[in-house]
């Protein structure tokens, strides 16, 4: 039970730190790093919660894998948006290469 409490508090800390980090950033990449940290907290929460309590451990793995896939999708779209914005800025300023 002690292990579960430690992991629950750590997961809460990771989620809050991730959100705070995302709110603190100016760039989209920094924002994404914060979001990924929050998703890491959710992965740990799902994995630990279903492993250390209840009867259905594999659901934690399923939720964790779904959260990881969500993190990858967010990262891909975020990076594409970041590069697109940079390219659009260079194009507007008539700078090469864009």
- Give me the 15-44 binding string for other proteins, x by CB under 8 A, dash otherwise: xxxxxxx-xxxxxxxx-xxx-xx-xxx-xx
Q: At what angle do helices 57-92 and 28-52 cross, to 10 degrees?
A: 180
Is residue 13 involved in binding other proteins (CB under 8 A)? yes
Is residue 65 involved in binding other proteins (CB under 8 A)? yes
Is residue 75 involved in binding other proteins (CB under 8 A)? yes
Query: How far apart are CB 26 and other proteins at their closest, in Å?
Result: 5
Is residue 5 involved in binding other proteins (CB under 8 A)? yes
Query: How far apart are CB 81 and other proteins at their closest, in Å?
Result: 7
31, 22 Cβ separation under 8 angstroms: yes
Buried b (16+ CB within 10 A) or exposed e, 63-91: bbeebeeebeeebeebeeeeeeeeeeeee
Is residue 49 involved in binding other proteins (CB under 8 A)? yes
DSSP state of 74: H
48, 83 Cβ separation under 8 angstroms: no
Query: How far apart are CB 82 and other proteins at their closest, in Å?
Result: 5
Is residue 93 involved in binding other proteins (CB under 8 A)? no
């Amino acid at each position: 039970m002690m292990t579960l409490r430690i992991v629950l508090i750590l997961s809460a800390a990771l989620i809050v730190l991730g959100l705070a980090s995302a709110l603190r950033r100016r760039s989209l990449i920094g924002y994404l790093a914060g979001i990924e940290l929050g998703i890491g907290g959710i992965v740990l929460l799902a994995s630990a919660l279903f492993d250390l309590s209840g009867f259905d451990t594999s659901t934690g793995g399923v939720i964790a894998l779904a959260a990881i896939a969500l993190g990858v999708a967010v990262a891909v779209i975020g990076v594409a948006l970041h590069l697109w914005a940079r390219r659009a800025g260079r194009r507007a300023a008539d700078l090469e290469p864009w």
